[in-house]
Structure 1
C-alpha cells in the first residue's frame, strides 16, 4: 500500500477513536455506495453523522479540510441519501469533517468541524 494510503488509514483510525471517546457510536467504516465512500458513519443524539476524514502530513498545499471538494460533497450526499433510506432513518443528519494533521515528529492534531457543509439541492 502506498504511504499516503497508510496515512489516510491511520487518520481514519484516529478519527474513529476520537469520536468513540467523546460518545459517538460508529455505525459503519468506509461505507460505499456507487462511486461514493463515506469514511465514518456515526450516531449521536438520534442524529446520523456522515464524516469525511482528511489526513495530511503538511499544510504546504492547504489544511486537510480544504480538500473536501464540491464534487466530494455531492458524492457524500448521494451516499447519505441511500444510507438513510436503507436504515429508514427519520431524524436529522449532518455532515462533519475531521481533519488529522501530522507533524514531522509524527504527533497529530485533530480538528472536528461539525455541520461542515450541507450539499445543495
Structure 2
C-alpha cells in the first residue's frame, strides 16, 4: 500500500466527517462504474451530491482542487449518470470538490467547493 493511497483514504474519511458535521448524509463511498470512481455520494435537502476528494501535502504543483481536470469531471459525471439510473433518483444533483491541504504543522485546510463542475 503506498503512502499516496493511505493519504487518499485518510482524505476521504476526513471529508466524510467534515460533510456529516455540515448535515450531509453520506450514502456511498468509492462508487465504481466501468471506468471511473466517485469518492463520496451524499444527500442533503433533497439533493444528491457527487463529491471528488483531493488531498495533498503541499502546493508544489498547485492546490488540490486543481487536479480535477475536464477529463476527470467527465468521468465522474458519467459514473453519476449510472448511479442516478441505478437508484432511480428524480431530484436535483450537484458535483462538489472537497480540497484538503495538509499543512507543514500537521493542521489541515479544508475547502468545500460546491457546484464545482459548472464553472
Residues 12-27 of structure 1: pairs in structure 2 closer than 5 A: 12-27=12-27
Q: Normalization by structure 2: what TM-score?
A: 0.97
Match of 2:11 in 1: 11
RMSD: 1.1
User: In structure 2, do the counterparts of structure 1 residues 82 and 118 end up closer, same or farther at CA, with 3 Å as the change threshold?
Assistant: farther
Structure 1 position 33 matched with structure 2 position 33: yes
Question: Could you tell me which residue of structure 2 aligns to residue 103 of structure 1?
Answer: 103
Q: How many residues align?
A: 119
Listed one character per residue, the Cα deviations across residues 33-92 of structure 1 (whole Å, up to 9, x for unaligned) are 111100000000111000000000001100000000111101001101000111111110
Q: What TM-score, normalized to structure 1?
A: 0.95
Distance 1:43 1:25 in 2: 5
Query: What's the CA shift for 1:106?
Result: 1.8
Instruction: Give the match for residue 88 of structure 2.
Output: 88
Tell me the residue number matched to 1:50: 50
Ranges of 4+ aligned residues in structure 1 off by more than 4 Å: none
Instruction: Say if 1:94 and 1:118, in contact at 8 Å, map to a contact too.
Output: no
Unaligned runs of 5+ in 2: none
Distance in structure 2 (CA, Å) of the matches to 1:38 and 1:23: 20
Q: Secondary structure at the match of 1:7?
A: helix
Q: Structure 1: 5+ residue runs without aligned partners?
A: none
- TM-fit CA distance, 1:118: 3.6
